[in-house]
């Protein structure tokens, strides 16, 4: 189980570090901003979870390996994009999206491929860290109902992305796009429900898969929660 937890932690750390770094690159931040945003996205949810549980200092400070991994991942992503853009400019390519005729040029950070990579990294990190948060709740050995593991799973899953969006000057993604937090809540509940029924490993795998599937379906079918559209209401 410890080996599996380490693997999940590493997958989630790298995925969320990529998500934060790509967001920073898209916002035209320099390399320091990219590294900081990548690290905060990767360890922010876990820090929130540990503070709620009264674990101080949080794991990110007691075991800096994960923070260092996030920094390294962010640096690699920055270098990859930087030299790719340098190469494109050197060859005289124009940064452009795919047009209506299907002609493809170098798309840069505004292209569809970059957006898809960002979405994939964010979805993978969300699924993994959600179930890691559920495990942290059960590790406390407290008498509990489903609320604590579901709450901690959700906080661990969405906390890093919440900090990322706030630092990037965006509206938090969890409130506006494709049932983001709802996918984490559902996955956390599935994991908590199966914890004593199917075993820890099976529960964590099922919970993470549930989050990822729900996110993919929400993105593909453009599912969103109901909201009040002031503009449409005024037109009526």
Secondary structure of residue 223 in the 3-state scheme? coil
**What pTM did the predictor assign?**
0.86
* Banded pLDDT at 102 (limits 50, 70, 90): very low
Integer Cα distance of 71 and 91 in angstroms: 30
CB distance 11 to 128 below 8 Å = yes
Inter-axis angle of helices 200-221 and 180-198, to 10 degrees? 160
Tell me the percentage of the chain whose pLDDT exceeds 90: 66
Tokens 């994009």: give the residue.
81
The SS3 call for residue 97 is coil
Q: What integer is the mean pLDDT of 51-70? A: 94
pLDDT tens string 1-25:
678 889 999 999 999 999 999 999 9
């Amino acid at each position: 189980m410890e080996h599996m937890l380490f693997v999940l932690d590493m997958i989630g750390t790298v995925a969320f570090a990529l998500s934060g770094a790509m967001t920073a690159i898209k916002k035209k931040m320099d390399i320091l901003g990219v590294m900081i945003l990548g690290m905060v996205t990767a360890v922010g949810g876990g820090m929130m979870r540990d503070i709620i549980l009264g674990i101080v200092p949080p794991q990110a400070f007691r075991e800096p390996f994960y923070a260092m991994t996030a920094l390294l991942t962010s640096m690699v992503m920055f270098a990859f994009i930087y030299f790719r853009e340098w190469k494109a400019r050197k060859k005289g390519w124009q940064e452009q999206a795919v047009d209506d005729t299907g002609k493809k040029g170098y798309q840069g950070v505004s292209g569809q491929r970059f957006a898809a990579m960002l979405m994939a990294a964010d979805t993978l990190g969300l699924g993994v860290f959600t179930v890691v948060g559920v495990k942290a709740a059960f590790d406390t050995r407290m008498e509990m109902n489903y609320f604590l593991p579901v709450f901690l799973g959700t906080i661990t899953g969405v906390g890093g992305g919440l900090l990322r969006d706030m630092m990037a000057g965006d509206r938090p993604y969890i409130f506006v796009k494709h049932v983001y937090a709802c996918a984490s809540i559902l996955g956390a509940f599935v994991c908590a429900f199966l914890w004593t029924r199917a075993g820890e490993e099976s529960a964590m795998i099922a919970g993470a898969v549930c989050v990822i599937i729900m996110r993919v379906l929400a993105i593909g079918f453009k599912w969103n929660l109901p909201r009040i559209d002031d503009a449409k209401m005024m037109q009526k």
